[in-house]
Structure 1
Amino acid sequence: MSTVSQGVRRTEGYVYSALHWAFPLVPVVALALVVGPAPLWISLPHLALATVAAWAGLSVLHTRLRDCDLLPASGWDLFRTAHLPVVRGVWVVASLATVALTSAQGWRDLFIASALPAFLGAVLALPLLGRPQTRPLHVGLVAVALAETSLWAFPVADDAELRLRSSAAFWVAYLAAMFVGFSVMFRNVLQTTRELERARETGAKLAVAEERLRFSRDLHDVFGRTLSAVALKAELGAAQAERGRPEAAATMREVQAIAVAAQQEVRDIVRGYRDADLAAEVAGARALLEAAGVQVTTLADGVEALPAPVARAFAWAVREATTNILRHADATMAHFAIHRDASGARLEVTNDGPRAAPEGAEGSGLRGLTERLREVGGTLSAGRRGDQFVVTTTVDAECLDRLATAEGGPA
């Protein structure tokens, strides 16, 4: 289990504990007043109303928090949702009646006169926090209003009680606002941990998607050229065998060697170790195209100065361009030019036999190559230039300098 998941569960436990202990405490406090000096006709309704207000408010708050995906689902959700308007009305009416009856008990102690109204007003206002559009300031103001009402709703009995209520008035407002503030802090912590959990899940999904994309891209780039080579060699071997040429056996052994090499490349892709070397790719492209009867020329200037990520991206571009020449062209000539100067680095692959293609058609290989180049700040263009088809990849000087600096070498 991840640390974030553990944090979510702990925070949910804190919130559950706070909700299920704080709300029931309201009728417990009211119960304590039953043994006080107030007559039973006031104390008993006060107890009943406080109990109803507490549990109705708890139901409203739970439903709102679950609607905001801040608490997990519960078996009571269907009941609460179906009867939410009624429960909300009961909560409002019972809360106002409880607040009004509280001051009827008469205040004889400063601590009780400060703490009980503040606690009562804050708890009865807390269900408003479940509404995303409600500001914490408004909840605090409602809590203070309810708390002050519970302090002053009934007339003052004598001057001593007036002085006591006047002294408690500030602390009632302060404690009610502080209680709401702590509740808002709990809610924000719960929201933050939920967002972290979602971010962790999203990151895991993106990592899986990225790995799948890498695997499919590498598989296409590797086997596009490999299968083209196998098809070419197999066709040559079949023609040689039909004519009774002794070279047929050697050609088929070359097909076998290509297949064995492809097996190793598959293992490298699966392990994530597959890499491409620019010089080796150019040499391989030359050998493969010349075997297909294509005349190949190369021009390399400043290849040694290319940062490794750019060299790898250019190597994949050489591989993809070679695959496309074999599969989609009737070329007799191909030219590979790699150039590095003050403006940046450029790879250009040209062939003279492009076939007609649908307008705007672009294969998955070119899309994958575009993504590879984007990772190093490069761009790709491919299209006809007269009677030729040209694939051009470029990386500007700024990106080259940044990549060279990241490698710890000179630009």
Structure 2
Amino acid sequence: MLLALLLTMASVSVAAGESVLAIVIAVILGAAGGLSLRHPLFAGAIIGLTFTFAVFAGPAHVGPGSLASIVAIASAAGHGKILGAIMMSVWHVTTLMAISAVRGDEAAYMVSELLLWIVLQGGTLVAATWGRRLFERSVAERARRLSELSDQRRAIARELHDTGVRAMTEVVMLAENAALRPGTAPSTAAEFRRISSTSRRAADEMRELLEQLRGSHEVGSPAHARGACVEDLLEMLRGRLAAAGFSVRVASEGECSLPDREVAVIARCLEEVEANVVRHGDRAAPVAIMSESLPGSSVAEPGLRLAVLNGMAPDDRHGLRGGAGLEGVRERLAAVGGDLEARCEGSTFLTRIDIPGEIR
């Protein structure tokens, strides 16, 4: 539409001083020039018929409307219709030369005009064909890279299955056998069953991840978090930390209703928070888990803020170093516009997660 409007304005402004027929031809050529971006052959036929009509109309004035021919030929060549573009080029140049001959132009002028149109049409064909070849080459290169990436993902999946999944399966078997061993204390057997349950859950999630890698699908939420809301995730976290020997308090303010994508991100982030608390936390200090909805507006859904406060084990207070886990949490949150804050405050470690509201 924009191209048609520009061509029409340029043509009509010149044709206005000629005749009403010249204005009509300018409008038709401008509209055909814009149409040629979507339907180049059809628009090229309209342009050719208009030029042919102009030959027998006196001849009628064409003027800047002839630029529509350049656009149509470039579009046809860009769509891969080279033969059609060449035939249109010959048709358009022939009729334009016929208009010049009927108008009584001098031979030298007609020769220079013919050479100009040959250069313009030929250059347009070459440039459009070259551009299409570059585009096809880039598409083929992208397909090749995607194929190589898919092969790499499948190779990674095989290696992870042969190492990680088998190792976790062996841990499950060892833990279950140890729990059933005669003479095992009940508390020790409970710890073995907890090890078995955790390893089994990790193995199931790893198998699902491997299937997603093989299929080149986007990695989604953990299996135990599907269909869960934020409150359910916090309760799961409380239960797992309690089973690990921590005293946990959970407090929520406001309704925390988020889309499934954000819930999946929170589930992964809470798993990392849990791992850090279990690895570096002081079991003698209570763990506080707090959530609140961030202020929303009339055009946004309220967001969510999560905060986890835990005591640090005496051995880790002065030697705590950040690992790749928290960096991974930051990357996950950044994908949904969220943010992470993790810092030490004396003997307490604070982890805060903010996810903004969704604009509707």
Identify which of structures 1 and 2 has the higher relative contact order when contacts are C-alpha pairs closer than 8 Å and 6+ apart: 1
TM-score by length of 2: 0.50
TM-score by length of 1: 0.44
* Higher fraction of helix: 1
Larger radius of gyration: 1
